[in-house]
């Protein structure tokens, strides 16, 4: 279920990032090429983007399919951004419908998306929900498996954990649900963090930009698949990967040294893989 994408790089029209590529997010909403669960993503969509000088992102979310929204097509023609996170939704039966259930979810400078499912909702997620303070859980405005995972991330961020650790911990917590798929995507407009946990993820680095997506948006060279159960950290200048379990243990009990406005994390000698220009 669902497809999502993040972009960092020179300012581009939203249309160029999401709609124009031959297999972009609009195409993925009705004809995904690598989606193993579900066939179309017509149960809502959302786009979040950052404007220069403003750390708090704007969002446009709707309950219907991306391909059927002429308002967004017109908006996407003129709005430009150097940091974008977008998602199209295939709702799991029993989950809340509507615009409020469509990613990306937001809190301060952060945008978040979940590509996957926690089977057996809501019973399967009750243990996860019990780990989150009630005010954080209810702050999402709507309860779905995705917003429970988002609440886990927000609680860890509020506790001072580094965003890499928070995202890896949430993915591993979700993995405790049998059959769960917990591909998560998080950005503050400076870096993109993503997990692979049961579904596809790929990225492409070009000079000064990076795209991280559930599946490639074209057939041009340079796309790299991320192994399952890994955390990816990307900026416009570099990409690194490490196993989820390793990422979740890094500075687990220490407050984050990265503020929401901080730059990308520095190099780490224990990274599983690092790519730079």
CATH of the domain at 173: 3.60.20.10
Quick: pLDDT tens for 218-267: 999 999 999 999 999 999 999 999 999 999 986 444 333 333 333 333 33
**207 vs 252 pLDDT, higher one:** 207
Low-confidence winner among 48-57, 87-96, 208-217 (lowest mean pLDDT):
87-96
Would you state the pLDDT for residue 259?
A: 31
Cβ(255)–Cβ(157) below 8 Å: no
Number of domains in the chain: 1
Active-site annotation, residues = 2
Question: Residue 237 belongs to what domain range?
Answer: 3-275
Cβ(235)–Cβ(190) below 8 Å: yes
**CA atoms of 31 and 10, how far apart (whole Å):** 28
Average pLDDT of the chain? 87
30 in helix, strand or coil?
helix
Would you state the pLDDT for residue 272?
A: 38
Q: Which residues of 129-150 are buried (b: 16+ CB within 10 A; e: fewer)?
A: beebeeebbeebebbbbbbbbb
pTM of the predicted protein model: 0.88
224 in helix, strand or coil?
strand
């Amino acid at each position: 279920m669902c497809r999502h994408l993040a972009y960092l790089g020179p300012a581009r029209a939203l249309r160029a990032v999401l709609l124009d590529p031959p297999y972009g997010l609009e195409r993925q909403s009705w004809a995904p090429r690598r989606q193993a669960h579900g066939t179309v993503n017509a149960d809502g969509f959302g786009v979040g983007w950052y404007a220069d000088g403003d750390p708090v992102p704007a969002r446009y979310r709707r309950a219907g399919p991306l391909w059927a929204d002429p308002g967004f097509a017109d908006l996407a023609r003129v709005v430009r951004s150097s940091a974008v996170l977008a998602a199209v939704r295939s709702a799991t039966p029993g989950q809340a419908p509507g615009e409020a259930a469509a990613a990306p979810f937001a809190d301060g400078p952060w945008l978040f998306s979940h590509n996957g499912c926690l089977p057996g909702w809501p019973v399967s997620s009750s243990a996860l929900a019990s780990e989150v303070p009630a005010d954080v859980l209810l702050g999402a405005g709507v309860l779905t498996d995705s917003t429970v995972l988002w609440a886990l991330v927000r609680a860890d961020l509020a506790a001072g954990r580094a965003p890499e650790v928070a995202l890896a911990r949430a993915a591993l917590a979700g993995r405790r649900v049998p059959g769960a798929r917990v591909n998560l995507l998080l950005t503050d407009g400076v870096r993109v963090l993503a997990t692979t946990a049961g579904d596809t993820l790929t990225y492409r680095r070009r000079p000064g930009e990076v795209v991280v997506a559930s599946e490639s948006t074209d057939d041009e060279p340079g796309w790299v698949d991320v192994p399952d159960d890994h955390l990816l950290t990307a900026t416009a200048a570099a990409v690194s990967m490490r196993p989820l379990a390793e990422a979740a243990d890094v500075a687990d009990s220490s407050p984050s040294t990265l503020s929401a406005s901080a730059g990308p994390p520095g190099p780490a000698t224990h990274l599983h893989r690092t790519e730079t220009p």
